Amino acid sequence: MGIPGSGLAKGLAVTLRTMTKRTVTEQYPDVQPELPSRTRGVIGLFEENCTVCMLCARECPDWCIYIDSHKETVPPAAPGGRERSRNVLDRFAIDFSLCMYCGICIEVCPFDALFWSPEFEYAETDIHELTHERDKLREWMWTVPEPPPLDPGAEQPKEIAAAQKAADKLAAQQAKEAEEAAAAQQAESAQAESGQAGEAPQAKDAGEEA
């Protein structure tokens, strides 16, 4: 700071350094932006998973999800059983002119039927055309990216943790069973050994020579 005019030189240095760096301009219509996989672009509907539980529509803060459905009866699985009823989705629409992209519907869906997609090019010239129906929402499912890898040292997802626990339990049980079986076998062979004591070491020597 001491030398007079050093501030002027510093200003020139800043602009010159910026000139040598990469520009930050996005050339959007020519080059698609690289969006992070958790981008909140649009909501996709995986309608095969939807059970018309209406949780999303009820939790939506601005009531922009429209769901229509009817019930169908399914014949009993086994003869003599009771008929079952099943919800069938007739209409699933999201009004993106109302949606505030809070993501509560996605959080609340118990059957993983709603997903964030980074797709964002769905501007319309008429506000009424922003209400998108289920076929459009289903199409957006194809643009949903793979979930990003977990941070190092992160807790495992609950599904995997539960499956791991079950697998561990099973493995422990199997190990226990194997142990018991081995113990039983040992006891059996100990009984047999009293009869043929000398044979085992000889067989070992033969194996080494071969």
Partner 1 sequence: MSDTLAIVLRVLAVFVIFLVFPLVIGQTEHKVMAHMQGRLGPMYAGGFHGWAQLVADGVKFAQKEDIVPAGADRRIFQLAPAVALLPYLLVLIAIPVGPGNAVGQALDAGVFFVLAVMGVGVLGSLMAGWASANKFSLLGGLRTAAQLLAYELPMLLAAASVAMAAGTLSLPGILDAFHWWWVPWQIVGGLVFFTAGLAELQRPPFDMPVADSEIIFGAYTEYTGLRFALFLLAEYAGIVVLCALTAVLFLGGWHGPFGADGLGWLWMLLKTVVLAFGVIWLRVSYPRLREDQLQKLAWTCLIPLALAQIALTGVIKVVIS
Q: Say whether 99 counts as a known binding-site residue.
A: yes
Residue closest to 69 by CA, chosen among 128, 134, 114 = 134
* Residue 23 within binding range of partner 1, rule CB under 8 A: yes
Q: Say whether 64 counts as a known binding-site residue.
A: no
Q: Can you tell me which of 3, 8, 154, 192 binds partner 1, judged by CB under 8 A?
A: 8
Question: 63 CB contacts (<8 Å, ≥6 apart)?
Answer: 57, 98
When computed from its CA atoms, the radius of gyration of the chain, rounded to whole angstroms, is: 33
132: which strand partners?
A: 94
Residue 13 CB, nearest approach to partner 1 (Å): 9
Residue 19 CB, nearest approach to partner 1 (Å): 5
* Residue 31 within binding range of partner 1, rule CB under 8 A: no
Q: Can you tell me which of 11, 61, 110, 157 binds partner 1, judged by CB under 8 A?
A: 11
Q: List binders of partner 1 among 55-74 (CB under 8 A).
A: none
* Residue 18 within binding range of partner 1, rule CB under 8 A: yes
Residue 121 CB, nearest approach to partner 1 (Å): 20
* Residue 4 within binding range of partner 1, rule CB under 8 A: no
Residue 20 CB, nearest approach to partner 1 (Å): 8
The annotation places the binding site at 50, 53, 56, 60, 99, 102, 105, 109
The annotation places the binding site for [4Fe-4S] cluster at 50, 53, 56, 60, 99, 102, 105, 109
What residue ranges bind partner 1 (CB under 8 A)? 8, 11-12, 14-16, 18-19, 21, 23-25, 27
